[in-house]
Structure 1
């Protein structure tokens, strides 16, 4: 494939360059066709690039930025007062087609607001949606959206989320993905009026493989590939999943160190425990896509480790290769034509 160019917000997140730069270098080493535009304070970034080999240094460029969006900063304030921030400059590079995608671990609200203002929405899309994948019991992924970009959604927005989620899921070789609406039960009589209206739209749309209502536990099974909900429900569900995964991982570690017999058992069971850890570790599912924009924007966790931020960059690479915004635009255009 031709060269890939991704812009990074090196200053975003809880840790900034000490995490983002090592992650960037790891991805560069594994992807010879990749170029990175690293946006941030050059005085903090340059020392971290001083000893890298020429094969990497020629594929990474610092774009100096004099401002940083703080993690607790109000989105409206960041939008008005931070035009030279690493986050804003990163988005401008995508807008100006100097980068094909961008990745940030910074302030979520500010990123949503700036991305909406700078990149604009694809024709026909009402609202952007945050989506990420959750591992299920069969070793596959379940995509959940929206994760917090839109607290209140009408039935038309939920319908568009289903279309966008289907397109994103198809990039992972999932043909004709199964789509479900997250609800308080599977029965047709349950749920709010908005959910019922959304279900009607999804049933009528033959381009979507709609299987009906699903419940929270279905996220972890192979019953569904895409789970659609509003941002309030999605954000709570995602945080609960992350909390559960970390609790299980910590419990395994604590039990393994509890006694001599526990340590002996842990040593015997180590291969199985490592496999379980890899499946449940939230780091490998870091990188929420902001769908519906005229460009690829990946939001990393603010407290992402090096490995987690690396996964977020790799998600950007995958979406470039699969032309996700273009395919979403085509799918929405077809849906609007069929409805008219």
Structure 2
């Protein structure tokens, strides 16, 4: 039995999307149970239309809903202890739920999750990881928006966490990891990325295989199992990919309806177009996971529909079922408590001293 706590007021549409989305996911995973946090007078009328979900859910009334445009500091100050977002996260900390899902304000969700759950071990900054459809299947991409700018050690931390997630979800014994860069040559890119690449090459971590630098077109090819970058470039890459998928979809719909011959061709190839549409639909892979926290939090896109929110709940279910936290905790302990981290720290210190001497 897996219990999911849901911020029912999160997102652009609130309970009108969250409740039907949870109901869709329950159909696929009937062993789930839900705790729905939010304004009961808005939740319960919609919940009444989904009797199976109602039987599997508990509604907790909350007087505050975090606004989508609220600043993280403001949301944390005003919504702490009493908002639906905070209560949903707190349920994970208290052990009442195994995972939290919210489509709410990303900055506020990260601030509250980090404040409530705290980071694991020596992790300085958490990351948001997304599942990325590729020509080979699926890859993990992180960070896609949590950390703007990251130093070399943080990028190595992201690599360790991303590899653990890949082993848990994609079931690859030794995932390949690549650092997103402007070229594959070792002399290209920002100093932090080049330093992280050097550290990963020298560390020879047992839980991953360092591939080297990868470029933007490698994301779709599935060149590696895990692509690591900092949050600014990662978020741009994510939004660009989603926008491109929608653009191509619109082009195809327009082309297929332009002439009677095109419409006939569509009817003959309808099955292939459906498979293509499923592969390109951003809703199918909706959801980003906050990695590096003492608990699992999944962020759904705020503007998604019920199918998209269901995909985020599905992801949350898979995270718990595959014991994601145990995988990450094991790898981080090995990294931070062993000689590997000590050697990396020494390398970074030596590199910093050399740079100062050069100046």
TM-score, normalization by structure 1: 0.96
User: Does 2:124 correspond to 1:102?
Assistant: no
* d(CA) in 2 for partners of 1:304, 1:56: 20
SS in structure 2 opposite 1:68?
A: coil
* d(CA) in 1 for partners of 2:301, 2:49: 28
* d(CA) in 2 for partners of 1:279, 1:56: 28
Aligned residue pairs total 336
Task: Compute the displacement of 1:177 (Å).
Answer: 1.1
Q: Which of 117, 120, 131 is equivalent to 2:118?
A: 120
* d(CA) in 2 for partners of 1:310, 1:52: 14
Matched with 2:291 is: 291
Task: Compute the displacement of 1:51 (Å).
Answer: 4.1
* d(CA) in 2 for partners of 1:94, 1:40: 16
Task: Compute the displacement of 1:85 (Å).
Answer: 1.0
Residues 145-181 of structure 1 deviation map (CA, whole Å, 9 limit, x = unaligned): 1001011100000000000000111122222111000
Matched with 1:36 is: 34
Higher mean C-alpha displacement, 185-194 vs 293-302: 185-194
* d(CA) in 1 for partners of 2:49, 2:114: 38
SS in structure 1 opposite 2:182?
A: coil
* d(CA) in 1 for partners of 2:270, 2:135: 20
Matched with 2:312 is: 312
- Contact 2:175/2:209, CA 8 A, preserved across alignment: yes
* d(CA) in 2 for partners of 1:273, 1:149: 35
Task: Compute the displacement of 1:315 (Å).
Answer: 0.6
- Contact 1:131/1:290, CA 8 A, preserved across alignment: yes
- Contact 1:124/1:333, CA 8 A, preserved across alignment: no
* d(CA) in 2 for partners of 1:51, 1:194: 52
* d(CA) in 1 for partners of 2:164, 2:157: 11
Superposed counterparts of 1:226-245, under 5 Å:
226-245=226-245
User: Does 2:160 correspond to 1:163?
Assistant: yes
* d(CA) in 2 for partners of 1:338, 1:307: 46
* d(CA) in 2 for partners of 1:270, 1:296: 39
- Contact 1:186/1:213, CA 8 A, preserved across alignment: yes
SS in structure 2 opposite 1:297?
A: strand
Residues 28-62 of structure 1 deviation map (CA, whole Å, 9 limit, x = unaligned): 23323211000111000111122443x54331010
* d(CA) in 1 for partners of 2:225, 2:85: 32
Task: Point out 4+ residue stretches in structure 1 off by more than 6 angstroms.
Answer: none
Q: Which of 58, 62, 87 is equivalent to 1:61?
A: 58
Matched with 1:275 is: 275
Matched with 2:339 is: 338
Higher mean C-alpha displacement, 16-25 vs 322-331: 322-331
SS in structure 2 opposite 1:14?
A: coil
Q: Which runs of 5+ in 2 are unaligned?
A: 343-359
